[in-house]
Structures are given as structure tokens and as C-alpha cells.
């Protein structure tokens, strides 16, 4: 696919000017008014699903069932975030108190307001749920912020088609012109990111790309919050009793989690810690050999996948299964030891974006802990353990909690439920700011700026704090 839709500088300027013009009117609507608009957008997306999915299959190689599920999830997000914004309007009131200690205090009323225009760098791997109408767009709109999407180059036609559906539905429901905009091309994205009319940015993608944009956002004369979701290895620790008792079941779950969507998920378990005394290689090889994987999203990702697998092999890992040099992608597993990780972590712990994972065998608790301590931040960390493993769990858990934004027990990290208690974030490089989630209703919080009214007459107060 070599569609060239790169925006001209006039088109970028138009998107910025329109979004800036929409900022105050869209922000001044009530959450209930925006709820109606976002529900209309969700309906329109659902109605257009057939046509959009056909384009998506062409551009991404993803399967139809997967894309259908993703459209449903994307429509759900638009509705759920809009509903949450209605239900969670911030209002904290401290009445005036002349007798307060340490000093008399005035009437103070805390609420929040939209942060301003949000620039959303769409992801390649979820052409709906993390793209034009995806979680970053939905949460920013629910917060009352106009959104400019920087389309991902992996699915430009789908991006354009989805944008038309979204834009038309929002306008028809009464949203101001410029409530959503779109730009294409790296240069257009950087120009918009540097523009003072943009007040926050969100990104989902690679560590190198995300870090470059994060640096640009921070170097602006007026720096802005940049919510980047970058790389994550999502370690899974299988404790000895669990491995001995249920190795087939665990390895099957692992294989499914690594190969689903051809491994192109930010929560794919990239490192499996496995007790060295329990055999795994033969069974894992069988399971991987029986797994169907489809071509990666783009030729660029295919090249990057092969290069990263090669890099891990060059660093000393051995191949358990798969042929990284094959022309079509194959599900792969590599292996190394916990002591090798502890000795030279960065070379072995390169993220392979695709259906490959690294099995790290460990001899005992201290061996395991040394390797875990060598890991950088992650979105998730999982534990599989049985009753006999609880001493090990007590030693390992503090390290995992310290390292990840979501901790799982006996489940695989792929599949991220969109709920209030979800947290999809974590220490760098999982994200650029570990305080925020990009999935779940708290994603909205990223785009709301608190404001306190002191001693205000009721008629000039926002409705939330009257």
C-alpha cells in the first residue's frame, strides 16, 4: 500500500484554525450535550462498520472477526466515555469558614474544564480502537476537547473514511465545525504538535517514535502534556508448582496470547519467566507450529519485527521455534536464562512487535529476582502460581508492582477491558507519564484541567459547583 495523502501546510493550518475555533464553543457544551453527540458518532460508526471493515482488511491484514470486535469496542468507548463524563463531573466545595485553622478561609469550589485542543497520534495496530475514533479521541471529546487526529500511515484510506463518518455524525448532532480534524503525514503531525493552539497530545506506538514526539512537545515555548504509550514487554512469571502442574494449559494460553493479532498488541506477553527444571521447549514448539498467524500490518513492521528478533538472537538468545528470516511471518519463540538477563539486560530485552516471545528460564528465586530487577517499566505483569508457590509470589510481587500499571493473576495480559477500574499505563517506557491511563473511563482525566472558583456569586459559577 503506498497511498500518499500527506497534508499540505494549508490543510494543517486549516485543521488547527478550525479546532481552535471549536475549542470554546465545544468546551462550553454540557457533558450531557456532548453525550448525545458521541452516542450519535457511535451509532454512525456501527452503521458504517461493513464498509469500513472492508477497507481495514485491505490495509491492515487483520481478520474480519477481530475487526468486527474492534468496531464494537470503539463504539462502546465513545458511548462509555461520554456517559462517564456526565456521571463524574468534578465538584468539591469548601464553604467559607472564618474560624478555620491555621487561618480563616474563603469559599472555594473546585471543578474542571477541558484542557483545549488535543492532537491524537493514531496507532497502527488498532485501526479502529486506537485510531481516528478510538480511545484517545473518545476520551478527549468526552472531556470537551476538539481533536485533531494525525492518521497512521498504515491505514490512510480507512482513516479518511472513518474521519468522514465521525465528522459527519458529530456535525449532524450539533457539534461545532472543527470539533474533529485530521492530518496525514509525519511532517503534518510535527507541525501540529509544535503549534501553540494544541494543548495536549496522545500517542500510541513505538518507543523511538513516541520519545521523539515527547521531546518535541516538551521543547515547545509552552510545553504541553504528552500522553505517550510506548513499548512494553509485559513479563509473565510462571512459578514452579504451577509450571509443573499445568504446563500444557499455561503454554497453550501463552501461545494464544503471543500469536493473537499476529502478536501486534502492546500487551503481548513478550517475556515468559519459566522454572528451568520444567521442560517447555518441545510442547511450546508444537503449539506455535499449529498457530495460524497472518501477515503483519505493514511491510515496515515486518522488517522491524525481523530486525528485533535478529537483535535478540545476536545478543545470545537461542531459537526455540520459528524462522525469523522467513519471507512470511512465523510465530516464534526464543530462550535465554535469567542470569543472562541480569548480566546484560538491554540487549536481550528488545521488544519484538509481532508473534515472538522470549522464554527466560530461572533456577531459583534469587535468580528470578535479579532478572526482574533488570527490566524497565511495563504496562502489565502477570503471575501464574499455585498454593506451593506462595513464598515465591511474596518475593516477586513487590518487584512486579513496582514495574507495571496492571498486575494479573493467572490470566494473560492481552485483552484490555474498557471499565472504570482499568489502568492501561505504567512506568517509562510503557508510558511517558505513569499517572495516566489511555483505556477505561479514567482516560478522560488526561484532558481535564482543574480550576477553583473563590468567593464567586452563584450566577457566574459553572453549573457543576453552584
**347 is a site residue for a second copy (CB under 8 A):** no
Restricting to residues 352-391, name those near a second copy by CB under 8 A: 376-377
List of residues 6+ apart from 300 with CB closer than 8 A: none
Q: Using CB under 8 A, which of 64, 364, 410, 463 touches a second copy? A: 410
Query: Does 115 help bind a second copy (rule: CB under 8 A)?
Result: yes
Rule CB under 8 A: choose which of 245, 456, 464, 466 binds a second copy: 456
Euclidean distance between CA atoms 139 and 144, whole angstroms: 9
Binding test (CB under 8 A) with a second copy, winner from 99, 222, 292, 325: 222
Closest CA to 169 of 214, 132, 211: 132
Interacting residues with a second copy between 50 and 69 (CB under 8 A): 69
Sole window of 276-284, 349-357, 358-366, 393-401 interacting with a second copy (rule: CB under 8 A): 393-401
Interface with a second copy, residue 409, by CB under 8 A: yes
Active-site residue 229, yes or no?
yes
Q: Is 227 helix (H, G, I), strand (E, B) or coil?
A: strand
What 8-state DSSP symbol labels residue 176?
P
Q: Which is nearer to a second copy, 51 or 92 (CB)?
A: 92
Stretch that binds a second copy, among 32-40, 50-58, 168-176, 404-412 (CB under 8 A): 404-412
Applying CB under 8 A, among 47, 51, 64, 92 the residue interacting with a second copy is 92
Q: Least distance (Å) from a second copy to the CB of residue 391?
A: 12
The set of long-range contacts for 83-92, using a CB threshold of 8 Å and a minimum separation of 24, is 83/35, 84/142, 84/420, 84/441, 84/444, 85/31, 85/34, 85/35, 85/142, 85/143, 85/144, 85/444, 86/31, 86/32, 86/35, 88/441, 88/444, 89/31, 89/464, 90/448, 90/450, 90/464, 91/464, 91/465
Q: What angle do CA 357, 359, 365 make, to 5 degrees?
A: 140
Among 47, 58, 64, 215, binds a second copy (CB under 8 A): 215
Residue 322 or 440: the one with the smaller Cβ distance to a second copy is: 440
C-beta of 3 vs 93, nearer to a second copy = 93
- 266 included as an active-site residue: yes
* Nearest alpha carbon to residue 263 among 348, 347, 330: 330
Residues marked active site are found at 229, 266
Amino acid at each position: 500500500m503506498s497511498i500518499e495523502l500527506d497534508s499540505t501546510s494549508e490543510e494543517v493550518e486549516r485543521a488547527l484554525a478550525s479546532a481552535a475555533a471549536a475549542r470554546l464553543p465545544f468546551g462550553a457544551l454540557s457533558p450531557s450535550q456532548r453525550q448525545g453527540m458521541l452516542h450519535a458518532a457511535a451509532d454512525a460508526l456501527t452503521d458504517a462498520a461493513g464498509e469500513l471493515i472492508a477497507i481495514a482488511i485491505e490495509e491492515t491484514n487483520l481478520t474480519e472477526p477481530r475487526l468486527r470486535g474492534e468496531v464494537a469496542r470503539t463504539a462502546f468507548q465513545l458511548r462509555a466515555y461520554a456517559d462517564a463524563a456526565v456521571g463524574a463531573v468534578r465538584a468539591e466545595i469548601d464553604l467559607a469558614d472564618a474560624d478555620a485553622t491555621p487561618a480563616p478561609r474563603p469559599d472555594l469550589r473546585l471543578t474542571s474544564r477541558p484542557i483545549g485542543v488535543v492532537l491524537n497520534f493514531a496507532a497502527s495496530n488498532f485501526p479502529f480502537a486506537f485510531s481516528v475514533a478510538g480511545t484517545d479521541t473518545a476520551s478527549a471529546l468526552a472531556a470537551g476537547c476538539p481533536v485533531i487526529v494525525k492518521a497512521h500511515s498504515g491505514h490512510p484510506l480507512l482513516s479518511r473514511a472513518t474521519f468522514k463518518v465521525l465528522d459527519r455524525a458529530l456535525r449532524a448532532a450539533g457539534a461545532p465545525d472543527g470539533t474533529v480534524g485530521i492530518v496525514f503525514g509525519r511532517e503534518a503531525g510535527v507541525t501540529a504538535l509544535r503549534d501553540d493552539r494544541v494543548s495536549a497530545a496522545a500517542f500510541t506506538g513505538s518507543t523511538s517514535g513516541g520519545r521523539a514526539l515527547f521531546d518535541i512537545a516538551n521543547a515547545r515555548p509552552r510545553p504541553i502534556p504528552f500522553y505517550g504509550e510506548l513499548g512494553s514487554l509485559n513479563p509473565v512469571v510462571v512459578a514452579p508448582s504451577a509450571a509443573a502442574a499445568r504446563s500444557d494449559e499455561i503454554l497453550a494460553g501463552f501461545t494464544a496470547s503471543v500469536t493473537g493479532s499476529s502478536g501486534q498488541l502492546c500487551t503481548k506477553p513478550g517475556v515468559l519467566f519459566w522454572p528451568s527444571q520444567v521442560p517447555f521447549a518441545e510442547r511450546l514448539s508444537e503449539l506455535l507450529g499449529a498457530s495460524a498467524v497472518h501477515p503483519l500490518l505493514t511491510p515496515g513492521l515486518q522488517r522491524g519485527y525481523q530486525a528485533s528478533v535478529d537483535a535478540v538472537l545476536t545478543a545470545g538468545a537461542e531459537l526455540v521455534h520459528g524462522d525469523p528470516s522467513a519471507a512470511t511471518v512465523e510465530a516464534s519463540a526464543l530462550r535465554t536464562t535469567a542470569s543472562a538477563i541480569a548480566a546484560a539486560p538491554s540487549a536481550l530485552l528488545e521488544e519484538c512487535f509481532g508473534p515472538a516471545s522470549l522464554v527466560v528460564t530461572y533456577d531459583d528465586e534469587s535468580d528470578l529476582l535479579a532478572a526482574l530487577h533488570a527490566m524497565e517499566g511495563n504496562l502489565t505483569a502477570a503471575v501464574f502460581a499455585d498454593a506451593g508457590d506462595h513464598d515465591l509470589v511474596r518475593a516477586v510481587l513487590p518487584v512486579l508492582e513496582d514495574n507495571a500499571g496492571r498486575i494479573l493473576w493467572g490470566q494473560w495480559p492481552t485483552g484490555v477491558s474498557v471499565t472504570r477500574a482499568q489502568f492501561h499505563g505504567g512506568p517509562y517506557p510503557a508510558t511517558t507519564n505513569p499517572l495516566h491511563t489511555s483505556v477505561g473511563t479514567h482516560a478522560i482525566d488526561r484532558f481535564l484541567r482543574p480550576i477553583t472558583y473563590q468567593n464567586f456569586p452563584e450566577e457566574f459559577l459553572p453549573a457543576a459547583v453552584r
